[in-house]
Amino acid sequence: MIIFPAIDIKDGKCVRLLKGDFNKITSYDNLPVKQASIFFKSGFKDIHIVDLDGALLGKSKNSAIIKEIIKKVKLRIQIGGGIRNIDCIHSWLEVGVDKVIMGTAAIENIDLLENACKKFKNKIAIALDVRNGLIALSGWKRQTNISALDFIKKIENFGVSRIIYTDINKDGTKKGPNIKDTIELSSKVKIPLVISGGISSINDIKKIKSLNNPNVEGVIVGKSIYDGDIKINDLVELI
């Protein structure tokens, strides 16, 4: 199971949101490049980066910072936030990103998603940010009535490499991830899922790992690391 420590960037800083609310934002002392270096030196192999400004604006605003991270650390990086076209995907892959995460653009333009998967084989991930089973878009600001399961069924044969499944109601709460719904979803789809949102302790990670579910590829951990609820060394031991 892959453990992805998360770096969410807004206005050049590491931040975490509460339930996707940009009015409930916590900033942290370490700048993104320093935080990425800490993760790398600690022994992580993968990292999850989201440009929150990009998610809101529809285009990357923190690309210079992210490119500096790519240069300084030898990590497999998956990047999301404001990725809305083929040229943007290509530019990230060119600088060494492992997976490019599409969100709003993938849901609003299925043809674009299909083309991207064909052009960049095994490089396209999808972020499904879900509130009560329904997908939210544009940095979680815009709620749709699109069922996550229905959408996955539509795109199941495109060649999407993984789905980052975030329960918005859990994200940033540290009240435990929505394992039940994610596992239920994983049993109905073929694309590997990554659990995101609500991780509260090392026991949450151990529980997910103990499931030995071949369709749950990994878990993303954010706020619990930054707040010290999960020690980085303890987390690395579970890789």
Dist CA 31 CA 99 (whole Å): 22
Tell me whether residue 21 is one of the annotated catalytic residues. no
- Which residue among 46, 53, 98, 129 is the active-site one? 129
String of DSSP letters for 119-174? HSTT-EEEEEEEETTEEEETTTTEEEEEEHHHHHHHHTTS---EEEEEETTTTTT-
Strand 134-137 vs strand 142-147: parallel, antiparallel, or unpaired?
antiparallel
Q: Is 53 part of the annotated catalytic residue set? A: no
30 phi/psi in degrees, rounded to 5: -70, 130
Q: Minimal CA–CA distance to 55: which of 176, 168, 150? A: 168
Active site residues: 8, 129
